[in-house]
């Protein structure tokens, strides 16, 4: 059902972990909806902002964005985090929603959320989040249609620094996060001069995909190539380079890698390893389960990586093998994901917001993005049933193959 020439009530929510795109997405959506109103494509417009993601939808915690603020929202393009707050809530996890006080005994999250959207007379819901957030929104929209005969157009905005959503070519925030992680390590690498035989383990986010780790390494090496060093001193481009990249998609023989890296340590007095937080998780989880330990998981059933601590695992296993006198584990994830969107991401978000508003007015739901399965990878509202997380990083890409060859690591 088309929304053309109608007053449209537009709701927005951000959900899941942070990414450098949440604030910019809201800014761009407000801009393009306002433009649709000024161009006469719709007759009226109201913005409802749900606070703290699905928590706000379940509890009715929201606010209406005053019209005199709409033009000021461009400033959000340059702000990190979310201006309306996030939370991790799964609408099909009744037990979790009940325990957290979002619903009452006997209620279901889907019904409570549906009633709230209908009470607020929402025509369009913009969900700014990862694959879980957007597929849940699709379930909610279907539930409203099937159970109540209502219609809420859902337009997802694909947020994840992991860049691991099928069939989307590039998710929002991933490029920014890679550049921010590189900036972070540009300072951290100086710690290699603080102690002889220093091992630095740089942990990047990425549960199932090595994209962010690889892209961060690429961005860092580009920054390193522009730095000037003075010959004769112990610190050099080679000592500050990335010496290893460990990601889930590349099999890791730790003893073999340690033998290679010990040679680097002997030559430069330091070793710098970039690794994804999901690397080696299966092995760590198996060891925990074999020992009878409980594996911590979040509301979605994902292993709680912060509590598993892969960095400590690699630190304890690698330090002795390479003869490190001191080991430093540093995580760039929170620094990188909390940044404001860069120019690349703002441009991508803007194009998706523009197409998303047009799709919503036409009454077509979907998750916005460059559709890899379509010729030319057009930006379109991708059918929710095709949206799926866990897309692995393609290690056959020329830039990655060349980088691995350059640092002397086999793939």
Q: Residue 60 — φ and ψ, nearest 5°?
A: 75, 20
| Cis peptide preceding 167, ω within 30 of 0 | yes
What is the spatial distance between Cα 163 and Cα 153, in angstroms, rounded to a whole number?
A: 25
Structure tokens at 339: 């940044």
Q: Could you confirm whether 208 is annotated as catalytic?
A: no
Q: Which residues, 6 or more positions from 234, have their beta carbon under 8 angstroms from its beta carbon?
A: 193, 269
CA 279 to chain CA centroid, Å, is 17
- Long-range contacts from 367-371, C-beta under 8 angstroms, 24+ separation: 367/134, 367/155, 367/156, 367/157, 367/158, 367/168, 368/155, 368/156, 368/157, 368/158, 369/158, 369/165, 369/168, 369/169, 369/170, 369/171, 370/168, 370/169, 370/170, 371/167, 371/168, 371/169
| Inter-CA distances, 154 with 106, 286, 339, 374, 409, Å | 27, 39, 27, 21, 45
Alpha helices in 120-210 (DSSP H): 131-148, 174-188
Structure tokens at 311: 């960095």
Could you identify the residue written with the tokens 């009744």? 94
Q: Which helix (H) or strand (E) holds 262?
A: helix 254-268
Strand order across the beta sheet in which 44-50 lies: 62-64, 44-50, 7-14, 124-129, 153-158, 366-370, 379-382
What is the spatial distance between Cα 408 and Cα 273, in angstroms, rounded to a whole number?
A: 13
Structure tokens at 205: 């986010």
Instruction: For 16-53, give the DSSP string.
Output: SS--TTHHHHHHHHHHHHHHHHHTTSSSEEEEEEETTT
Instruction: Give the three-state DSSP class for 249.
Output: coil
Selecting among 52, 120, 131, 162, the annotated active-site residue is: 162
Instruction: Give the three-state DSSP class for 228.
Output: coil
Residues labelled catalytic:
162
């Amino acid at each position: 059902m088309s929304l053309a020439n109608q007053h449209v009530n537009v709701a927005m929510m951000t959900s899941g972990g942070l990414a450098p795109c949440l604030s910019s997405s809201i800014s761009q959506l407000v801009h393009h909806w306002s433009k649709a109103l000024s161009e006469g494509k719709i007759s009226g417009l109201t913005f409802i902002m749900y606070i703290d993601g699905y928590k706000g939808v379940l509890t009715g915690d929201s606010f209406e964005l005053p019209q005199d603020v709409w033009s000021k929202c461009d400033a959000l393009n340059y702000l990190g985090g979310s201006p309306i707050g996030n939370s991790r809530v799964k609408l099909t996890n009744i037990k979790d929603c009940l325990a957290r006080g979002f619903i009452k005994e006997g209620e279901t999250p889907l019904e409570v959320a549906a009633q709230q959207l209908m009470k607020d007379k929402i025509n369009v819901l913009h969900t700014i989040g990862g694959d879980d957030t957007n597929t849940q929104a699709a379930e909610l929209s279907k539930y409203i249609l099937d159970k109540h005969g209502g219609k809420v157009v859902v337009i997802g905005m694909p947020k994840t620094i992991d860049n691991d959503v099928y069939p989307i070519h590039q998710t929002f925030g991933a490029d920014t996060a890679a550049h921010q992680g590189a900036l972070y390590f540009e300072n951290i690498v100086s710690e290699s001069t603080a102690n002889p035989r220093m091992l630095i383990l740089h942990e990047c986010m990425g549960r199932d995909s090595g994209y962010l780790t690889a892209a961060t390494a690429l961005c860092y090496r580009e920054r390193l190539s522009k730095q000037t060093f003075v010959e004769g001193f112990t610190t050099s481009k080679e000592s500050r380079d990335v010496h290893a990249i460990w990601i889930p998609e590349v099999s890791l023989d730790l003893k073999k890698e340690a033998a290679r890296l010990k040679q680097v340590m002997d030559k430069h007095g330091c070793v710098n390893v970039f690794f994804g937080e999901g690397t080696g998780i299966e092995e760590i989880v198996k060891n925990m389960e074999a020992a009878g330990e409980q594996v911590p998981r979040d509301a979605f059933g994902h292993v709680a990586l912060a509590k598993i601590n892969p960095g400590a695992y690699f630190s304890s296993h690698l330090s002795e093998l390479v003869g490190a006198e001191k080991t430093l584990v540093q995580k760039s994830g929170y620094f990188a994901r909390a940044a404001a969107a860069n120019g690349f991401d703002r441009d991508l978000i803007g194009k998706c917001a523009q197409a998303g508003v047009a799709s919503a007015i036409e009454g077509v739901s979907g998750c916005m993005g460059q559709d890899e399965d379509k010729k030319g990878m057009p930006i379109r509202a991708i059918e929710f049933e095709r949206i799926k997380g866990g897309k692995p990083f393609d290690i056959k890409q020329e830039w990655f193959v060349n980088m691995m060859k350059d640092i002397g690591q086999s793939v």
